[in-house]
Amino acid sequence: MVQIWHPLVLSLKTLSVVALLLVVIGIPLAYFLSKENLKYKWFMETLVTLPLVFPPIAIGFLLLLLLGKHGWLGSYLNPLGIRFIFDFNGLVLAGFVAALPLMVKPLQSAIELFPKTIKEAAYISGKSGLHTLVFIILPSIKKSVMAALLIASARALGEVGITLMLGGNIVGKTDTISLAIYNAVFDGDYPLALLLCTILIVISLAVFTALHFFQKNENLL
């Protein structure tokens, strides 16, 4: 039972933090990238979308070099008690990096399609960019926000490559449900692997059902 419960709880805990980061960081980033005259916009968009085309295991390796004990950033963060390698923080970072493009790009497109006249009217009336985003734009595209968040969260839940490099796949500590499936297959415990796959299938079906619900309601409006 522990072989099922621990990876599932760890994955859900990781997912909850990743979802929060996607909202707090992903939405403002999408709004920032939606600006037409943004300098070096192409370069920033490339960095955001890189996890979609670059192998996850390679991204994990680069993050390992960056955040490891003797890494470029890790050598400064570790003495402060901020650790990512073989730690829960690494699992969160892995899920966030993998999910970020699927959160940012759809929202960026939705914000770019939002009527410019409404945004300009808000600015003329003295509203700040933050106020315009939170109280005018987001309520109008809330279904797009929820759809992007669901898809990005599902991607974070299934992340393996980056998680393996940063978390180390330590059984009982950093083995998420996806890595637990890998471990079960490696150990020859196919019934356990099948059970864990079934749990992921149920979660995936719940996500797609929610997406269908949002899309159906949007079509009815």
Q: How much is the pLDDT for 38?
A: 83
Percent of the chain surpassing pLDDT 70: 95
For the four alpha carbons of 123, 129, 131 and 136, in that order, the dihedral sign comes to positive
Percent of the chain surpassing pLDDT 90: 56
Judge whether 136 lies within some domain: yes
Judge whether 19 lies within some domain: yes
Q: How confident is the model at residue 216 (pLDDT cuts 50, 70, 90)?
A: low
Residue 47 pLDDT more than 50?
A: yes
Q: What is the DSSP string of the chain?
A: -HHHHHHHHHHHHHHHHHHHHIIIIIHHHHHHHT-TT-TTHHHHHHHHHHHHHS-HHHHHHHHHHHHSTTSTTHHHHGGGT---TTSHHHHHHHHHHHHHHHHHHHHHHHHHHS-HHHHHHHHHTT--HHHHIIIIIHHHTHHHHHHHHHHHHHHHHT--HHHHHHHTT-TTTT--HHHHHHHHHHTT-HHHHHHHHHHHHHHHHHHHHHHHHHHHHHHH-
Query: Of residues 128 and 161, which shows the higher confidence score?
Result: 161
The pLDDT tens digits for 60-77 are 999 999 998 888 898 999
Residue 215 pLDDT more than 70?
A: no
Q: How confident is the model at residue 221 (pLDDT cuts 50, 70, 90)?
A: very low
Residue 220 pLDDT more than 50?
A: no
As for how many domains the chain has, the answer is: 1
Residue 163 pLDDT more than 90?
A: yes
Judge whether 197 lies within some domain: yes
Q: How much is the pLDDT for 14?
A: 95
Give the structural domain span for 116.
2-54+89-220
d(CA 164, CA 168): 5
Q: How much is the pLDDT for 4?
A: 83
Least confident of 124-138, 144-158, 183-197: 124-138
d(CA 100, CA 176): 19
Judge whether 66 lies within some domain: no
Q: State the CATH number of the domain containing residue 95.
A: 1.10.3720.10
Q: Exposed, middle or buried by CB within 10 Å (0-12, 13-18, 19+), for 192? A: middle
Amino acid at 5: W
Judge whether 140 lies within some domain: yes
The pLDDT tens digits for 74-89 are 899 988 889 999 999 9
Judge whether 190 lies within some domain: yes
Residue 7 pLDDT more than 80?
A: yes
d(CA 137, CA 22): 17
Taking residues 116-123, what's their average pLDDT?
Answer: 86
Judge whether 64 lies within some domain: no
Judge whether 77 lies within some domain: no
Token pair listed for 24 = 């707090």
Q: How much is the pLDDT for 218?
A: 55
